[in-house]
Chains A and B, each alone.
Chain A
Amino acid sequence: MRLFLEVLEIDADGGAMSGTNLSQLQFAITTIYHFFFVPLTIGLAVIVAIMETLYVVKKKPVYKLMTKFWGTLFLINFAVGVVTGIVLEFQFGMNWSEYSRFVGDIFGAPLAMEGLMAFFLESVFIGLWIFGWERLNKGLHLATIWLVAIGVNVSAFWILAANSFMQHPVGFERVGDKLVLTNFSALITNPYLMNQFPHTVLAGFTTAGFFVLGISAYHLAKKNKSEVFQRSFKIASIFSLIAVLGVVAMGDRQGKGMVTMQPMKLAAFEGLWETEEGASFSLVALIDQDKEENPLAIRIPYMLSILATNKLDAKIIGLKDLQKENEQRFGQGYYIPNIPLMFWSFRIMVGLGFLMILLSIIAIFLAYKRKAFEKTKLFWLFVPVIAFPYIANTAGWLMTETGRQPWVVFGEMLTKNAGTPMLNVRPWMVISTIIGFLLVYAILIVIDVFLIAKYSRKIPSENSTLDNAPEGDQAVSEVTK
């Protein structure tokens, strides 16, 4: 909750809670919540597709068990992701009608295309995948899960194309009081998007990798001698390492891109007040945003310049200069986002990223060494770290979105002007819907966690006799019921 309140303070106008503040709170709640489910969907679709590919190619029943075990968890997670996603599409119009009017010409198109190209694909083929085990031949059934996996990733592309426009608007011109699209290919080759898309998708892969590692590790630690979990752990360890290395690499590129695209965001998450040549990197710092200084900081000399530009003595513009520059460009106003929130979100995200590299190396070692899977105690380590990608994902988005403030579309529209005018949507209405969403989402998360826990603990095996099964598939059907 504290985090959300901090998000609110971003609105530089401060003072009483305005309708826009409330809408920001609601948006933070519904979006962060939705994004608990999305990354796992993105990554797990691919992992399940890989497992089913192995089943089709190698024809070993264990891969089918794996496909069905993880497939069931995928479906539970997917369901909540789907229903909480509709909220977001409605919300732009409901709470952000001025924004929608201003930018709908550009912002609406990727949303519509996401539905047309991605949502149909994933929703139709997931239905076929669930019901197709008995009705489709193996190759066709495999194709359905790959189409789902493609669908979720295409979906990520379009929604990030829309978000990238808010971060770094391209391919438009201002006509009267609206932005109008002039160049569609610029919109979908936005340099910001080219970093953001792989970074986000790979974060999803990492989330799924650690999810599979963690649940497999739970069974391995409990000495459940099922081949399902040994093989899953092996696959996930390699998958996770590749994914997390990719996330970090793309994150690095993103940081470098910010030097030109979003210098304010860069200076903000580094807490860099003064312009510096050969800027140092603050490992930790006390930040006083009012006095515009960091009373205490542990710094690594030159490190920031190296990280941002690969050059030792490069000049990084500080917040104070950027503020002046922005005032010259856009007029009076406070253009610096919430620094402590950004500074710490960034460090949490990056710190966890590096920890996850280490953890996936340990996982590979545990899975592939001689006498692998014998020492079981160490596997407990991987259960709590399921949370790491979730925390890193949330921190990453908090940083990205708060770093854009006070703008809703950078340089074009201020967040405080983007909300629905309070003459039709009154603050009490927004407060009611916030409470409503909190209640609904609380119920959903309890149910989701209950189901994930329940189906994670099931041990799939080929000779368990369970109800509801076509011959030969007993355990399998139990899992997908």
Chain B
Amino acid sequence: MTPYPVIWFILITILYSGFFVLDGFDLGVGILLPFIGKNEQTRRMMVNAIGPHWDGNEVWLIVAGGATFAAFPQWYATLFSGFYLPFFLLLVALIFRGVAFEFRGKDDNPRWKSFWDWSAFLGSLVASFLFGVAFTNILRGVPIDANMQYVGGFFNLLNPFAIYGGLMFTLLFILIGACYLVIRTGDPVESAARKLAGQLWLPVTLMILVYGACVWLFGGNSGFLGWFAMIFFIISAVAALVSGISTKKGRSGWAFIWMSICILLFTFGIFGWLFPNVMISSLGVENNLTIWNASSGVTTLQIMTVVAVIFVPVVLIYQSWSYWLLRKKVTGENESLHY
């Protein structure tokens, strides 16, 4: 048995976790736009805080999708065709929130700005929610037949657990978005975001525990790491708690770091529960897609491993450098505003 499918399962886990942390706060800031951004000046500060980074963060999703396609074509094919309509809505949402950031500053007409603020808000909200719905359904198991085809229809995806998952993701993203705004913007955005982070950490902590319990109770047949997944969810909840305490103590940098850890571990929990499955079939264990029956051949996986080993660290270095370079807080002063 070759180790490559395991390696790629881990790499894809890392890519999705990275995406949920990094674009998580972009999406959160997008959702918070109408709530914390009470006027044009504050909304502009918020958009500028994520402006230089949102695109690079979204690439984590594109690479995660591409890696899924390359390493596990069957997973990619079953998932993307099975979740056809939700993924279409996801695409529309991501299109609108992306151009919203780029275009809102390009004209001064208040209706123009308000149109883009709405598309950033709705786009971020819908995308966050759908990520939760999609991943929760993967955990819960969906009807997949013996030919690896999804046979569940659209409304099968809208079950209470999945909707709870949608809310869960949305709140996680809002909270990390608030933590990000605290460290990256000045007042009045900073204090409003801090206040919100101070209110949200407790419900989020509890919700993560409930989510873990739901996975245990309603999740599809887990692999052999089910217990590990539970531990990940519990530590994830603890991280949210520590993040909340850090916020209360005014250690905003730590609050953000702990929220990042929270989302990382939360995603590890999801993938840990799945392993070694990649799609759980509700029609019987024998229909599960696993890292073995869904993967590409060894040659492809070997080459991709070499490429990933070289380029993932390089990307991490220059992307981190871009955050470090633009670490100065976004204030109301005009020269720091480009969007």
Contacts and interface: CB of A to CB of B under 8 A. Distances in A.
Interface of A: 75-76, 79-80, 82-87, 89-90, 92-95, 97-98, 100-101, 103-109, 111-117, 119-121, 123-128, 130-132, 134-136, 175, 180-182, 184, 420-421, 423-425, 429, 432-433, 436, 440, 444, 447, 451, 454-455, 467-470, 480-481
Nearest to A98: B77
B150 A83 contact: no
Contacts of B51: 127, 130-131
A429 B84 contact: yes
Interface of B: 51-53, 55-56, 58-59, 61-63, 65-71, 73-74, 76-82, 84-85, 87-88, 91-92, 94-96, 98-99, 102-103, 105-107, 148-154, 296-297, 299-300, 303-304, 307-308, 311-312, 315, 318-319, 322, 325-326, 328, 334-335, 337-338
B91 A424 contact: no
A109 B107 CA distance: 40
Contact of A425 (B81, B96, B315): B81
Contact of A108 (B296, B308, B334): B296
Contacts, number: 231
A109 B304 contact: yes
- 3 closest cross-chain pairs (CB), A and B: A104-B73, A93-B80, A108-B70
A94 B103 contact: no
A112 B84 contact: no
A124 B299 contact: no
Contact of A131 (B79, B149, B300, B326): B326
B82 to A, nearest CB: 6
A121 B319 CA distance: 9
Contacts of A467: 334
Contacts of A455: 106
B338 A470 contact: no
Given A86-B62, A100-B73, A424-B149, A120 B52 contact: no
A470 B337 CA distance: 11
A454 B107 contact: yes
Contacts of A126: 55
A481 B105 contact: yes
Contacts of B303: 109, 181, 184
A131 to B, nearest CB: 5
A424 B82 contact: yes
A442 to B, nearest CB: 13
11 contacts: A104-B296, A105-B300, A115-B62, A120-B318, A124-B319, A127-B52, A131-B51, A424-B150, A436-B92, A440-B96, A468-B337
Given A79-B103, A128-B326, A440-B95, A111 B308 contact: no
B312 A116 contact: yes
A128 B325 contact: yes
B103 A93 contact: no
Contact of A83 (B82, B94, B318): B94
Contact of B88 (A94, A98, A468): A94
B338 A93 contact: no
Contact of B77 (A100, A115, A180, A454): A100
Q: Which of A92, A451, A470 neighbours the largest number of chain B CB atoms within 10 Å of its CB? A: A92
Contact of B91 (A80, A86, A111): A86
B322 A124 contact: yes
Q: Which of B67, B88, B91 neighbours the largest number of chain A CB atoms within 10 Å of its CB? A: B91
B73 A105 contact: yes
Contacts of B106: 76, 451, 454-455, 481
A111 B107 contact: no
A128 B321 CA distance: 10
Nearest to B94: A86
Given A115-B59, A130-B51, A108 B76 contact: yes
